[in-house]
Amino acid sequence: MKPSCILFFVAFAAAASHATVPTATITGVSTDAATHVVTVTYTLSGPAIVTTDFLTNGVSVGAANFSTLYGDVNRYVTNVTSSCSFKWLPGVHGDWQGGNFDVRLKTWSMNCPPDYMAVDLVATNQIWFYVSEGAIPLGVQHVLYKSTRLLMRKIPAAGVTYRMGAPSTEIVNANEPVHLVKLTNDFYIGVFPVTQRQWKTMTEQNAVIGHRDESTHPQHWLYPVNNVSYNALRGSVADGIDWPTTARFAVAVNSHIQTIRSLTGISTMDLPTEAEWEYACRAGASGAHFDGSSMSLADTDEIGWYANNSAVGGTKQPHPVGLKKPNGWGLFDVLGNMHEWCMDWSGDYVFEDAAVATVAPKGAFSGTSRVKRGGGTYEHGIHHLRCAKRDAGMPDSSTEYNGFRLYCSIPVNP
C-alpha cells in the first residue's frame, strides 16, 4: 500500500537559555504515485536545526525508517527567505509498509541542539543532527562513523556538579583525591576515539602502528589512532600555545586540530579538559567503572581492552573500536585500548576545598607533562581501568599508546 499524507503538526523546542526558537510551518506534503517519494516543504522563521518525525495512528513509524531522509532536515537550516524542503523514501531500510501518516517538524536552537551530531570528514561544513541513537542512519556501529564521519554525543553538563577523583577505598593513589567539580556548559564528545581511518581522512597522514602491519592486522584502520603527540595536535609552548595560560581554543596554525577545524568548519573542535573527560566517562556513575560493576576480571573484560584480554597470538595489542560495552551515554572505549590526551598539564588537582565545587577547573598552570586519560591501555593491568585513573605523557611524546577523542563546545558553529 502506498503511503498517503493527511495531516501535519508543527512543533518547536525551547533553548536552554529560554530564548525564542525559530518555528517551522509546513506548506506542503506530497507523495509521488510512482516512486512513493514523500516531499515536505516548509517555511522557517529563522535559522534553526530542523528534525522530523512521521506518525501513523499517533505512533512514530520508527527511526529505522528515516535513513532515506535528505534535503533541509537534520541540518542547521539558514534558508529563511524562501521555502525549504526535504524528501523521504519510506520502507527502504525499515519495516514500515506505508499508510496514512502525520508529518511533524521540530526546531532546535544551536544553544540546545539534539543529542547526536555527525560530521562529514570528506566534504567541508557537512553536519547532521539526530534526536536519538535510534535516529542515526545505519546505526551507531556502522563503519561509516568509524571512517569518514565523526559521530559525537551531547553531554548534558551545564550547571552540573559531580564528584571527580577516587576514594582511597578504590585504590591507594594520592594523585586522585575526591573533590567536587561544577561544569558550566554542555558539549559534544566523540562516540569513539578517533580511528586510524578517520585520522588518515582528516590529515592525509598515515599513523604509525608500531610493530603491527596491515598484512597481519587487516582491520588496523578501525583501531584507535596512536603515535600522536599533544604538541602535534594542538601546538607547543614554543608555538605560543600553552593552555591554560593561552585561550581555551587557541591552537597553532600548523597543528592537526587546526586542520580538523578547517575541514569540519567547527572552530571549537579540540581536546576535552580532564574534568570534562572524566564527567563524560562516568556518565553519572560514581564508582571505579562507568557501569557500576566490580573490578573483577569478568566485569572488567566487558568494558575495555587491557593486559588480561588484549593478546592475539600471544601479543598484547589494540583492537577495533566499538567492540566493548559502552558507557551510559553510549561512548565506546573510554576505558582501555588507548590513552586519550586531555587539555591540561599534569599536576595536583587545583581546588581549595574538596567539599566546595571548583567551577570548570583548568588544571595546573604549568608542568612538564600533559594529562592522558582512558584508564590505561591494552598493556595495562586491571586496576588501571578506572574512571578516575590519571596518566601523563610528555607533550612531544608520540608513543603507540597515545590517541585522542574529539570534543566541541555548544553552541556549535557550522
Beta strands (DSSP E) in 89-234 are: 100-108, 116-120, 127-130, 149-155, 161-164, 179-182, 187-190
Is residue 286 included in any domain, yes or no?
A: yes
CATH number for the domain harbouring residue 318: 3.90.1580.10
> Can the peptide bond before residue 244 be classed as cis, meaning omega within 30 degrees of 0?
yes
**Is position 160 within any domain?**
yes
The per-residue pLDDT for 206 is 64
Instruction: State which of 108, 136, 160 marks the end of a domain.
Output: 108
**pLDDT in the model for residue 50:** 97
Question: So what's the pLDDT on residue 356?
Answer: 96
Where is average pLDDT lowest: 131-140, 192-201, 216-225, 264-273?
216-225
397 occurs within a structural domain: yes
Question: What is the Cα–Cα distance from 232 to 345, expressed in whole angstroms?
Answer: 16
**Pick the residue with more confidence: 400 or 12?**
400
Q: For residues 133 and 56, state if they share a domain.
A: no
Joined grid coordinates for residue 56 = 501513523
Whether residues 94 and 138 fall in one domain: no
CA-derived radius of gyration, the chain: 23
Both 208 and 339 in a single domain?
yes
Give how far the C-alpha of residue 261 lies from the chain's centroid of Cα atoms, to the nearest Å.
15
Q: What percent of the chain has pLDDT over 70?
A: 90
What percent of the chain shows pLDDT beyond 90? 76
Query: How high is the pLDDT of residue 19?
Result: 59
Report d(CA 117, CA 291) in Å as an integer: 24
> Distance (Å, rounded) from C-alpha 38 to C-alpha 29?
7
**Domain edge (last residue) among 75, 108, 141:** 108
Strand segments, DSSP code E, in 265-400 are: 311-312, 315-316, 339-345, 358-359, 370-373, 391-393
pLDDT digits (tens, 9 = 90+) for 66-100: 888 999 999 999 988 889 999 998 865 554 555 67
Q: Residue 213 — pLDDT band, cuts 50, 70, 90? A: low
Which of 73, 108, 143 delimits the end of a domain? 108
| Res 21 pLDDT > 60 | yes
Q: Are residues 12 and 145 in the same domain?
A: no
In a domain, 414, yes or no: no
Q: What's the CATH number where 43 sits?
A: 2.60.40
Q: Residue 349 — pLDDT band, cuts 50, 70, 90?
A: very high
Domain count along the chain: 2
pLDDT exceeds 80 at position 121: yes
Residue 379 domain flag? yes
- Assess whether 20 and 152 both reside in one domain: no
Instruction: Please tell me whether residues 284 and 193 are part of one structural domain.
Output: yes
Q: What is the pLDDT of residues 31-47, one digit of tens each?
A: 888 888 999 999 999 99
Task: For residue range 262-305, list pLDDT tens digits in order.
Answer: 999 999 999 999 999 999 999 999 999 999 999 999 999 999 99
Check whether residue 200 and residue 230 sit in a common domain. Answer: yes
* 15 and 37 within one domain: yes
| Res 362: pLDDT | 95
- Judgement on whether residues 235 and 368 belong to the same structural domain of the protein: yes
Closest CA to 256 of 227, 295, 221, 281: 227
- The sign of the dihedral angle between the CA atoms of 43, 48, 54, 55 is negative
Considering the domain architecture, whether residues 316 and 396 belong to the same structural domain is answered as: yes
Indicate whether 281 belongs to any domain: yes
Let me know if residue 86 belongs to a domain: yes
What local confidence, expressed as pLDDT, does residue 92 receive?
A: 59
Residues in the chain: 414
* Residue 9, pLDDT above cutoff 50: no
Same domain, 89 and 162: no
Contact of 343 with 243, CB cutoff 8 Å:
yes
pLDDT at 316: 93
pLDDT at 208: 53
Residue 162: domain span: 116-409
Contact 279, 141 (CB under 8 A): no
Mean pLDDT of the chain: 89
Residues 6+ apart with CB under 8 A from 51: 73, 74, 105, 106, 108, 114, 129, 130, 131, 135
Decide if 46 is inside a domain: yes
Same domain, yes or no: 122 and 21: no
Residue 363 in this model has a pLDDT that exceeds 80: yes
Residue 25's pLDDT band (cuts 50, 70, 90): very high
pLDDT digits (tens, 9 = 90+) for 126-160: 999 999 999 999 999 999 999 999 999 999 999 99
* Angle, in degrees to the nearest 10, between helices 256-264 and 196-203: 80
